[in-house]
Copies of this chain bind each other. A is one copy, B any other.
């Protein structure tokens, strides 16, 4: 049906899944890498450095903004996007707690 049954999962499980979607598409990975590395974070620069149309980049930026991972500020006619370092850090710690799970050592299966 294409509709995720969020009701049956824990808040943590849903949050991990939501945040993971941020980098579950190469365009958003590329955008985030650019924002970390670039000397500039103007929307137009992202459009020209990544090979997607401007509305497509705008849409990905919107999703990242909705998740709180980036923020944008208007500079004249252009818009400057940046990593929201606080939210990035809390996202990172949630994902890390998931990735760093250890296997039960008493267990010996498969």
Binding site for B on A (CB under 8 A): 4-6, 8-10, 13-14, 16-17, 20-21, 23-30, 32-33, 36-41, 50-52, 71-73, 80-83, 85, 92, 95-96, 98-104, 106-107, 109-110
Contact = CB atoms under 8 A, between A and B. Distances in A.
Contacts of A21: 20, 24
B85 A92 contact: no
Given A82-B109, A104-B36, A9 B29 contact: yes
Interface of A, secondary structure class, is mixed
Contact of A101 (B27, B28, B33): B33
Contacts of A102: 36
Nearest to A73: B110
Nearest to A9: B26
Contacts of A50: 8
A82 B107 CA distance: 11
A28 B38 CA distance: 34
